[in-house]
Amino acid sequence: MTTIRLRNTKTRKVEEFVPIDRENVRMYVCGPTVYDRAHLGNARPVIVFDVLYRLLRHVYGAEHVTYVRNFTDVDDKINAEALRRQQAGAPGTIEELIHQRTEETIAWYHADMDALGALRPNHEPRATDYIGQMIGMIEGLIASGHAYARDGHVLFRVRSYKGYGRLSGRSVDDMIAGARVEVAPFKEDPMDFVLWKPSDADLPGWDSPWGRGRPGWHIECSAMSHELLGESFDIHGGGIDLQFPHHENEIAQSACAHPHGDFAKVWMHNEMLMVEGKKMSKSLGNFFTVRDLLDGNWSGGWKVPGEVIRFVFLSTHYSKPMDWTEEKARQAEATLRKWRTMTFRSKPDVSPPIEVVSALSDDMNTHAALTALHRFSRLGNGGALLAGAKLLGLLTPELSDWFRFGEKSVAEDPRIDAIQDIRVMARKRGNYAISDQMRSDLLDAGVAVFDYKDSSTGYFEPDFLARWLVSKAWAAFKAGDREKAQKYVDLAREAGVSVHLEDDGVSAVTGHDEQAAFAYFEKYISLIHERACKILQKGYLK
């Protein structure tokens, strides 16, 4: 049996993972607050814990793993959005508008995360469906002296739990010292945090022993994990930014409400995502959602396949900050294209290769797993490559949409064949100048040309066209031929690629308009075809 080792934030050590019950391995991951599209940073824990989920399923059996990821659907940002809609004239009560908003956001989330190849968890509880459990838990905390009610609020008495701060390595006194903690008249201690707060008429609320109100942020995860996974479960995951205060507060609540349970045995935190070396933020203009990337609605302009996003994420260990760059995405795409091409007719091995399983078992070393896949690729072992990739959620049929091979989007055009026939004739007779000129024209038209000893093949592919023209422009620029570089830039623009020639080179070129590419191809292929036929008719081939 494979031994999985995981870094536990609680102990700061990599430990052997021993499930509480190997018949039912339980994992809880903090999910999104559903007020808007998921941004790229939201995708990191989804992908990281999806790989862990797949690994656990592989080791313990798919039916022996329970994965819970919540939706936070009660939150001030949701309320604000619903209120904004109401004020903009949308019909319905505020509750209905909130419901509408969360419903559509959850649907987006599912669509976007599906596109990244993430499996759906076994349970995706919504906070609003567990209000009763939260109230029950809060009542218990009051009864045992760990919480108190004041002015319609209920607060957790942080000083009553001596383990507070252990997860994040802080002491309560240090935190108060230099910290910006919200001081409120109803707090006994500035560190105390809200379990329940009152709602006025234009906010969603539920009846409770403390009046109409809504839960604080942290209590939902404690209530839902307890309900679905029990007092003790195996793994609790989330972003490192949740370590404090969210997870610290969760532990305090759960430990005090269920003193006989261990709550989560292993805490795992993924590091943050950066964009081109900086934190993603709206003010820096480097903020984008997963959907923006998928749809090409970002600075790169390229429709990034979900599989490419996934690959980029897996190439950095989850415990390190990960920098999203277009360069990485391009490399990932090239690698995936190569792997998909070489495994086009392969069948995956029955079980994943040991190299990949042991890499993942070593604290989820996804990068090492990818290195193993590179090796299988080099060795030409398509079966192992596919089976290993599957464990990472890569090279799966679900994520294959972007990859076109053979008949699907590659244009096989009778004119290409005709030109190639003439070229082969020319080559046989030693008319290399003619043959090579035609080849160069074909390449410029977006036809990938492959010459063999006595034959030649070629096909039109929009993506090839874009890459070819841009690489020609770069080559000319590097050779100091600005005029030629400009010519290729102009051609690329005509072919639907957004590209500019700047002082420091050819600007980032990515997405392209396929319709423009086909129109471009149509225009040039007919010219080349005409010219080729003329050469043949006039007997220039000797």
Partner RNA sequence: GGCGGGUUGGCGGAGAGGUUACGCAGCGGAUUGCAAAUCCGUGAAGACCGGUUCGAUUCCGGUACCCGCCUCCA
CA distance 351 to 369: 15
Report the half-sphere exposure of 283 (CA within 13 A, side-chain side).
1
Our finding on whether 197 is near RNA (CB under 7 A) is: no
Q: State the nearest-atom distance from the C-beta of 272 to RNA, in Å.
A: 4
Kindly tell me which residue out of 327, 398, 401, 412 binds RNA, with binding defined by CB under 7 A: 327
- Chain positions 97 to 156 lying near RNA, rule: CB under 7 A, are none
The beta strand positions in 101-192, using DSSP E, are: 147-150, 153-156
Options 83-91, 119-127, 180-188, 290-298: segment touching RNA (CB under 7 A): 180-188
At 509 the three-state DSSP class reads coil
Q: Is position 410 an interface residue for RNA (rule: CB under 7 A)?
A: no
Question: Which residue from 1, 88, 91, 178 is in contact with RNA, where contact means CB under 7 A?
Answer: 178
**What track of x and - describes contact with RNA for positions 59 through 98 (by CB under 7 A)?**
------------------x---------------------
What is the rounded distance in angstroms from the CA atom of residue 399 to the CA atom of residue 397?
A: 5
Site for RNA in 13-52 (CB under 7 A): 30-33, 39, 41-42, 44-45
Q: Which of 83, 274, 536, 541 binds RNA (CB under 7 A)?
A: 274
Instruction: For residue 437, give the 3-state DSSP assignment.
Output: helix
Q: Which is nearer to RNA, 256 or 312 (CB)?
A: 312
Contact call for residue 542 and RNA (CB under 7 A):
no
Residue nearer to RNA on the CB measure, 19 or 438: 438
Do residues 235 and 207 make contact, with C-beta atoms less than 8 angstroms apart? Answer: no
Considering only residues 455 through 514, tell me which ones interact with RNA, judged by CB under 7 A: none
**Nearest-angstrom CA–CA distance, 108 and 246:** 25
* 322 in contact with RNA (CB under 7 A): yes
Phi, psi angles (nearest 5°) of residue 490:
-60, -45
Least distance between RNA and beta carbon 302 (Å): 16
The answer to whether 465 touches 521, Cβ cutoff 8 Å, is: yes
Q: Which is nearer to RNA, 323 or 349 (CB)?
A: 323
Q: Strand runs (DSSP E) across 418-535, as ranges?
A: 447-451, 456-460, 501-502, 505-506
Q: How far is the CB of 343 from RNA (least distance, A)?
A: 13
What the block records as the tokens of 5 is 């080792």
**Cβ nearer to RNA, comparing 60 with 286:** 286
The least distance separating RNA from the CB of residue 4, rounded to whole angstroms, comes to 15
- For the bound state, the minimum distance from the C-beta of residue 436 to RNA, rounded and expressed in Å, comes to 5
**CB-hemisphere CA count at 13 Å for 329?**
23
Instruction: Fill in the per-residue mask, 236 to 255: x = in contact with RNA (CB under 7 A), - = not in contact.
Output: --xxxxxxxxx---------
Number of residues engaging RNA in binding (CB under 7 A): 73
One-letter-per-residue 3-state SS of 332-388 = HHHHHHHHHHHCCCCCCCCCCCHHHHHHHHECCCHHHHHHHHHHHHHHCCHHHHHHH
DSSP, collapsed to helix, strand or coil, labels residue 390 as: helix
Among the listed residues 66, 49, 168, the one whose alpha carbon sits nearest the alpha carbon of residue 113: 49
Candidates 20-28, 139-147, 149-157, 162-170; binding stretch for RNA (CB under 7 A): 162-170
**536 contacts RNA (rule: CB under 7 A):** no
Site residues for RNA, 361-380, by CB under 7 A, read 365, 367-368, 371, 374-375, 378
Task: Dig out the tokens for 264 from the structure.
Answer: 């989560």
Q: Scanning residues 202 to 231, which ones bind RNA (CB under 7 A)?
A: 217
Q: Which of 13, 18, 14 is nearest to 3 (CA)?
A: 18
Residue in 162, 453, 538, 542 binding RNA, rule: CB under 7 A? 453
